[in-house]
Structure 1
Amino acid sequence: MKTLVIGASKNPERYSFKAINMLREYDHEVVAVGLKIATVGDVEIQTGQPDFRNIDTVTLYINPKRQQDFYHYIIGLKPRRVIFNPGTENTDFYTLLEQNGICFEEACTLVLLRTNQF
């Protein structure tokens, strides 16, 4: 399963950084998008809206206002689900995802991984 982290950062204090590392620790394939090109472990953070394929899960680390620029991008990737980490909850986006047959959940990626619910 390939996971896309949106809002990725190379700052070790950021939860997106921790999520990338933990996803890799649990042997998940990870791709990442952030504001700056960088590397976290063996994952290269890209900018913009790269043409990724076979994305199973999108996990969000950007606020609802910034998410608006990614609505069509994420829907176009056709992921199985989108995870809204704490602080990213967005009822407008939930509606769009439902209309496009994409599951979503309000959850913490780190907790899901640690409790074998990812």
Structure 2
Amino acid sequence: MKKKTLVIGASLKENRYSNIAINRLTMYKHPVVAIGLRKGEVAGVEIETEKVPFKDIDTVTLYLNPQRQEEYYNYILSLKPERVIFNPGTENPAFYSLLSENNIESEVACTLVLLGTNQY
């Protein structure tokens, strides 16, 4: 099943994990939307700089440190995703609790590994 994924912390820099994740997600045919600091395009995906009210988001995958995540708490909750993936370096127990209270699964994992091992 294809899972519409929002990448938060998307980068135009090809060596960044968020950029690699967008490329890999599109390669695996998952619909992708993205938010980053700068507008641009990665693998045909437009990177937005505003908190766009995307519809039908299954998964949010984070590439922001815990301090930068705080401004996205209410936004992510409003999207009502099935899960939020905390990639290495983004671990945030305070946010896990908030997600759990809102019946949203939090997963501490690497999006690239999940895709590569067919566990996405």
Answer whether TM exceeds 0.5 for this pair: yes
SS of residue paired to 2:15 = coil
Which residue identity lines up with residue 13 of structure 2 in the other structure?
N
Gaps (5+ residues) in structure 1?
A: none
Deviations 1:35-56 (CA, angstroms, capped at 9, x unpaired): 0101001100001200100000
Corresponding position of 1:68:
70
Corresponding position of 1:23:
25
Deviations 1:31-90 (CA, angstroms, capped at 9, x unpaired): 000001010011000012001000000000000000000000000000000000000000
Q: Percent identity?
A: 61
What count of residue pairs does the alignment treat as equivalent?
118
Corresponding position of 1:88:
90
Deviations 1:75-118 (CA, angstroms, capped at 9, x unpaired): 00000000000000000000000000000110000000000000
Corresponding position of 1:40:
42
Corresponding position of 1:110:
112
Deviations 1:16-44 (CA, angstroms, capped at 9, x unpaired): 00000000000000000000101001100
In structure 1, how many angstroms separate the alpha carbons of the residues matched to 2:35 and 2:52? 8
Gaps (5+ residues) in structure 2?
A: none
SS of residue paired to 1:55 = coil
RMSD between superposed Cα atoms in Å: 0.4
